[in-house]
Every structure is written in C-alpha cells, then in structure tokens.
C-alpha cells in the first residue's frame, strides 16, 4: 500500500511564517498517520527558487541569486525541523534532478505548445498574468503592482483541455476538496480557459526551455513538476507513477487553480496519471487581521513554538479551525486550547491514571475479564483508529481530533464514575479491570494523537511501555511489566 503527500514548495523571497508551518504540519500529520497504518509513504516538501520575484529579492539583498537561494532555502529547512516535519524528501527547484525533470516534462507536452507573442499585465507577486478587469489602479488582486509585459513566448493549449478537465472533475468528485472550492474551480473552467503563456525571455533566473535560446520556463511549470521530480521522474517513471496516483497535494486556497486546472492539464498532455486529490486549505489571520509585515502581526513559527511548545502549536492549528476553512490565530485562543483540551483533559487523564498506578507500585497487572462497564470503554478504545481512518482520508483533521477527544472525555468520566482510589481502599478485584480499560484507552489515544503531537505521544508510549511505531500494536495486551514514573505532559499557559 502506497501513499504520497506533498506540501507546496515555498517561495524563498521571504521568511517562513505560520502559513507555511500550517501546510507542512497538515501534510506531516497525513504522512505520519499512514506510516503508522502500515503504508509505504513518500512525503515531499521544499523550496520554489526560480522566477522574477526571487531574482529581485536577491538583487535587493545584494547577493548572487544562487547564494541567496541557498541561504533562504535553509530557513525553510529549519522551519521543517522546528515543526518536526517528517519529510522523505526536501526538494529545491535549482537542483539538477529537477531541472532534468522539468525539461523532460516540457518535451512530453510539446505537442500542445506553440510560439506566439504575448502582451499583457503581469503580477510579479503571484507570478501570473492578470486580466484588465481584475486590475484596480495598477494593482492586481494579490495586492501586487502589475507590470506591462510584451514578449515572444511559448504557449500551452490549455483551451483544448477544458472539456477533458470538466469530465474529469465530474467523474472524480473527490479530486478537489473541500467541495466549495471544487465548485469554484468548476465554474472557473466552465467560464472558458485561455491558452497559457509558459515561458519568459525577459529574465534568465529559471529553467531553460529545451532547444530554445533565451527562454526560461514559466515558474509555475517548473514548480508543479517538483512533485514528480521528488518521486524519481523521469528516471523511474513507473515507480513515480505508482506513488503519484496515491498523491494528495496539500495547497493553500489561492494556489488551487494552478494545481487543479493547469497541473492536471499538463499531466494529461504528457500522458501521465493524475494525483489522487488536491486539498485546499484556508488562510490564517492574526488577532483578527490579515497578516502583513507593515502591521507587524505576522505569526513567526519559531517564536510561537518557543513560547507555547511544538505539540501545543500543532494541536492548536489543527483543532481550532476545520481544515479547509480560514482561521484566526490569537493568543487567547491558543492559551484556552492548551489549558482546557491539553492540560485539563488529556494531561489530567494520563497523569491521574498513571500516577495512581505508580502509587500502587507501578505494575499494571492487566485484567481483561471485563464486566460490561469496562468493556464499553475498551471497545470504544479499540474502535478509535477505525473511526479516524475515513476522517484522515478526507483530510478532516479537526474532526479527527474531536473524535479522539470524545474518548478522552469518556475516559475521564470513567475515572470519576469508577473511582479507582476507592476500589483500591476496598481491595475490590474490579480495580485492575478498571485500570486495564483505562490504560487501553490511553494507549489508543496516544496512537490517535501520535500523528498530530508526536512528542506527547512518545512520552505516553514511554510511560506505558509501548513502542508506538505501528497501529497494529494496539492489539497487543499489556504485560505486568513495571511502568516508569510519568511526568506532567502540559503546563497550563499563563
């Protein structure tokens, strides 16, 4: 069983921010879940280093563009380490393997490419041409200042793919998620597709078009190809295809069009399979406002991880907002999540059960001869991962967390109702059945949260002597080996 997931590759003209950390964390969670579920996973991320924007940023920084790219790409690699992104490949579009892959893809779609001259307004911020009707006082919808471009260019016959794309969307209703975004794409394609200008000759910071002097590829062709490069294309086309068919592209809503319209059209032209899904997530604001350097409210992942801790940040981002919708990052909201969901609910459950077992000497003495009450909790625990699977397959990450928290709440209630400390006082034989059911619940919860909060899950696995590398371990029964002493998982945020 194969699974593939990708993040967008990030432009390196600015510092990593919460938006980048968000996309990477979501993709990481999907990858981790599938690894635990026994899949062979390929998870790629990286940096998008060509294009006019990067060339200009390098100029501003008074650096040679490749040197500038090296420095900035490293910042994104550092962000990935910070967020514990478990990528299998970090791809840079300036790498040789990628230049070869992009040129190969170009030759594979050449039958749909023609040369013509182009005149139009270009938005360097989004690296795209914009229609006159979209421009207000010289400003594109992205907020970027448009520039007049007039040049001999290569064009891709995108218009010829309109019907094939619509047919594909129709016959693959889950190709684009969420549904609301899918509808937007369908109406965009229905309204008519124009051919796409796919080369530039006014600047040279790009991948040379094969057999065409002075032309570099439009940065988006080069960027999208990264997903194939990372899978070994074109050297190992079969291997690449086998993963690619199972591939989920996690992208932000503003770059959905490139992924859900242009990319499938290029792939169809090349005779390559299409990825399984494009999932568009929403955007974060900061304390209710659009993030911007001039307001100074850009959320810096390095700062918030330092302040709140990695797992708390990962949890907050995935729980606070339904994946696919826009959300707001506020200090109050993250503190609340940490205090209530993490410290009070999860932290407390683990602490009160495991500290109590320590009090009894640290041996759990498993007893699986459950009566009805314990059996209910045990059954719910064993069903947790099965409930999460379809949610994860739909990238419904916030609901996956709420489902885990239902079991957390049920377990806390079970402790309150069963009062193990009283059972101990009375030497009631029920005691170890209750504790066994609770440890089973804690084990399933740890597996459930492992993709979301890897460090916290690791701590819990260690507390209960579980290796924690595969969901299959959930089936193992506890032995009476001594549990090590637990320490509190979360501190309430002041």
Nearer to ligand MSP, 54 or 193 (CB): 54
The site for ligand MSP, by CB under 6 A, has a size of 19
Asked if 223 touches ligand MSP (CB under 6 A), the answer is yes
Nearer to ligand MSP, 72 or 446 (CB): 72
Asked if 252 touches ligand MSP (CB under 6 A), the answer is yes
Q: Is 195 left (phi over 0), alpha (psi -120 to 50) or beta?
A: beta
Q: What are phi and psi of 280, to 5 degrees?
A: -100, 120
Q: Strands 327-329, 199-200: parallel, antiparallel or unpaired by DSSP?
A: unpaired
Nearer to ligand MSP, 269 or 354 (CB): 269
Of 151, 144, 142, nearest in space to 120 by CA: 151
Asked if 323 touches ligand MSP (CB under 6 A), the answer is no
Least distance to ligand MSP from the beta carbon of 20, Å?
5
Where do runs of H (alpha helix) occur along 172-309? 179-190, 219-229, 237-244, 256-257, 263-270, 301-308
Least distance to ligand MSP from the beta carbon of 267, Å?
13
Output the 3-class SS for 373-423: HHHHHHHHHHHHHHHHHHHHHCCCHHHHHHHHHHHHHHHHHHHHHHCHHHH
Task: Say how many residues make up the chain.
Answer: 494
- Number of helical (H) and strand (E) elements in the chain, helices listed first: 19, 14
Q: Sign of the CA dihedral 370, 376, 377, 382?
A: positive
Q: Which residue has the tokens 């929403």?
A: 282
Asked if 251 touches ligand MSP (CB under 6 A), the answer is yes
Distance, in Å, from the CA atom of 55 to the CA atom of 63, rounded to the nearest integer, reads: 10
In 34-84, the DSSP E strands lie at: 40-48
Asked if 283 touches ligand MSP (CB under 6 A), the answer is yes
Stretch that binds ligand MSP, among 18-26, 34-42, 186-194, 363-371 (CB under 6 A): 18-26
Asked if 23 touches ligand MSP (CB under 6 A), the answer is yes
Least distance to ligand MSP from the beta carbon of 98, Å?
11
Nearer to ligand MSP, 262 or 432 (CB): 262
Asked if 397 touches ligand MSP (CB under 6 A), the answer is no
The 288-317 contact track toward ligand MSP, x by CB under 6 A, reads ---x--------------------------
Asked if 9 touches ligand MSP (CB under 6 A), the answer is yes
Residue among 3, 22, 33, 378 that touches ligand MSP (CB under 6 A): 22
Contact 412, 341 (CB under 8 A): no
Asked if 99 touches ligand MSP (CB under 6 A), the answer is no
In the range 193-222, which residues lie near ligand MSP by CB under 6 A?
Answer: none
Which residues in this chain contact ligand MSP in the complex, by CB under 6 A?
8-11, 19-20, 22-23, 48, 223-224, 226, 251-252, 254-255, 283-284, 291
């Amino acid at each position: 069983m194969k699974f593939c997931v990708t993040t967008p590759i990030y432009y390196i003209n600015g510092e990593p921010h919460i938006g980048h950390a968000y996309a990477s964390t979501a993709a990481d969670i999907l990858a981790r879940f599938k690894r635990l579920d026994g899949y062979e996973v390929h998870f790629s991320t990286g940096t998008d280093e060509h294009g006019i924007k990067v060339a200009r940023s390098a100029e501003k920084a008074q650096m040679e563009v490749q040197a500038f790219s090296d420095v900035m790409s490293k910042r994104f690699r550092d962000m990935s380490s910070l967020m514990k992104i478990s990528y299998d490949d970090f791809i840079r579009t300036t790498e040789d393997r990628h230049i070869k892959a992009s040129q190969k893809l170009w030759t594979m779609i050449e039958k749909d490419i023609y040369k013509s001259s182009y005149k139009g307004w270009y938005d360097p911020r989004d690296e795209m041409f914009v229609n006159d009707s979209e421009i207000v006082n010289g400003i594109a919808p992205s907020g970027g200042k448009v520039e007049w471009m007039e040049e001999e260019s290569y064009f891709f016959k995108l218009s010829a793919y309109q019907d094939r794309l619509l047919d594909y969307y129709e016959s693959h209703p889950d190709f684009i998620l969420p549904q609301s975004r899918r509808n937007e794409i369908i109406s965009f394609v229905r309204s008519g597709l124009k051919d796409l200008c796919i080369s530039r000759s006014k600047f040279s910071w790009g991948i040379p078009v094969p057999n065409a002097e002075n032309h570099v590829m439009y940065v988006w062709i080069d960027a999208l190809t990264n997903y194939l490069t990372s899978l070994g294309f074109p050297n190992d086309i079969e291997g690449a295809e086998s993963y690619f068919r199972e591939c989920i592209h996690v992208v932000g809503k503003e770059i959905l069009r490139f992924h859900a319209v242009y990319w499938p059209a290029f792939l169809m032209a090349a005779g390559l399979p299409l990825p399984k899904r494009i999932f568009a997530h929403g955007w974060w604001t900061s304390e209710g406002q659009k993030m911007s350097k001039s307001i100074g409210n850009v959320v810096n992942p390095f700062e918030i991880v330092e302040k709140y801790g990695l797992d708390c940040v990962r949890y907050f981002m995935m729980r606070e907002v339904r994946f696919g919708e826009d959300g707001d990052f506020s200090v109050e909201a993250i503190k609340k999540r940490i205090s209530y969901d993490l410290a009070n609910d999860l932290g407390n459950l683990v602490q009160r059960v495991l500290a109590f077992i320590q009090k009894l000497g640290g041996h759990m003495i498993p007893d699986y001869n459950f009566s009805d009450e314990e059996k209910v909790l045990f059954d719910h625990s064993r069903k947790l991962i099965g409930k999460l699977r379809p949610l994860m397959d739909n990238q419904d990450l916030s609901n996956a967390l709420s489902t885990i928290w239902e079991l957390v709440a049920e377990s806390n209630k079970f402790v309150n109702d069963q009062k193990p400390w009283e059972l101990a006082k009375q030497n009631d034989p029920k005691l170890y059945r209750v504790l066994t059911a609770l440890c089973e619940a804690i084990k399933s919860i740890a597996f459930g949260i492992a993709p979301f909060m890897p460090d916290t899950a690791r701590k819990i696995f260690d507390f209960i002597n579980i290796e924690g590398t595969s969901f299959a371990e959930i089936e193992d029964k506890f032995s009476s080996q001594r549990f090590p002493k637990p320490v509190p998982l979360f501190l309430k945020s002041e």
